Amino acid sequence: MQIHRLIQLVVLDGMEKTVLDERFEDSVRLVQRAFPRITSATVPNSYKSDMWHLAQDCLPHVLSLEKLYLNPKSGITLSKPSGFPQLLSDTSCYLIHGGDLVDAEKVVQRALARYRKCEKEDGFGFNQLSGKA
């Protein structure tokens, strides 16, 4: 199912902030469940498995979530803890091991910039966002 971008924007614009934050976290959880954990230990076999294709299929959804999150108009606030940092980390691992170093670096740099902003404005950082604190 696809929803036209204009309709998506109208719906997002009409959502209350708390509802938008909740739906964002719900979306992160759904994509995170589908996105495989690609680590140094799984990389040698991942190219031969469905795991690699699954990550490729999930990539547009991760990038869409990232775009929404980085949009200043959305004003999304991550819950504490959020699965979003781990999802970005998994995505950057996929991109690195797939040879897309430029996009991997962009994902990591944008994530780090946001984490630093959280530390400065909200007093919590990566460990709190990812639930590791």
Q: Residue ranges of the domains in the chain?
A: 5-130
Would you place residue 30 in the very low, low, confident or very high pLDDT band (cuts 50, 70, 90)?
very high
pLDDT at position 29 over 90: yes
**DSSP one-letter code for 63:** H
**84: confidence class by pLDDT, cuts 50, 70, 90:** confident
Place of tokens 């902003």: 117
Residue 125 has pLDDT above 60, yes or no: no
Question: Which structure tokens are listed for 50?
Answer: 């469905």
- Condensed to tens digits (0 to 9), the pLDDT of residues 36-69 reads 876 666 665 655 567 778 888 999 999 989 888 8
Nearest to residue 86, comparing CAs of 131, 24, 26?
A: 131
Give the Å distances, CA to CA, from 102 to 26, 35, 97, 98. Answer: 28, 20, 12, 11
